[in-house]
Amino acid sequence: MRWMLLALGLLGGVSAHASTSEQRGFKVFRQVCSTCHSLDHVAYADLSGLGLTQDQIKEYAAQHQVPDGLDEDGDPKTRVARPTDLIGSPYAGEAMARMANHGSVPPDFSRRAMTQKGGVAWIVRMLQSYAEAPAGRKLPPGSYYNTAMPHGHIGMPQPLHDGQISYEDGTPATTKQMAEDLGAFLEWTARPHLAARHLVGVFVLLYLAGMYVLLLLMKRRVWSRLRQTDASRNF
């Protein structure tokens, strides 16, 4: 099933389902979030669901390296990513991720919209809740004041700032706008094949409808012949 969905994506048959907010959210992820966060369950080819062409997908994949077993000396080696590869993590392993983030591993974005308590709405709110700590408020080392967090602090520096990226469609890249767009992208990453599944469902329904009509015609033809046979015998 996964290969069927990837094939539909590569054919560009589902790109029309992507919203402009999801597309902008992918840009936020690519330029801001991808340096720390992974997409372990999303393939480069899946990005066709956001409207990317095959050439754009190949170009984006070619900017990344993926593990490719061991070399002759037994050391890990890599190769250029292909569209069918999972996007994965920006780090070589969990140890590297912890080393770069004060002992914590940044959460994977693939299913974040479904696994985070409060869902996307909470994530969008959290991204807009950074502020200066009140006078006298002491924060743990390496943490930042954030009113959305239960204890009022978070280990991630404020990632979004007004105007830090430019949207091709001219939408002002405010912190609020980028947070909402990233939220839309996270909704998509949780179900990257949803549009393709809808398309497969349409094909299945059309197939079943065609089979129903065919069987109905065959039934009528068979019964017509049986009636003719009975009529000739009675005559």
Q: Cα separation of 144 and 24, whole Å?
A: 26
In three-state secondary structure terms, 137 is coil
Binding-site residues for heme c sit at: 33, 36-37, 156
Q: Closest Cα to residue 103, out of 67, 137, 141?
A: 141
Query: Residues within the annotated binding site?
Result: 33, 36-37, 156
Block residue for tokens 């009113």: 147
Cα distance between residue 104 and residue 95, in whole Å: 10
* Cα 159 to Cα 68: distance, rounded to the nearest angstrom: 32
Query: How would you classify residue 18: left for phi > 0, otherwise alpha for psi between -120 and 50, otherwise beta?
Result: beta
61: left (phi over 0), alpha (psi -120 to 50) or beta: alpha
Contacts of 219 (CB under 8 A, 6+ apart): none
- DSSP annotation string for 186-217: HHHHHSTTHHHHHHHHHHHHHHHHHHHHHHHH
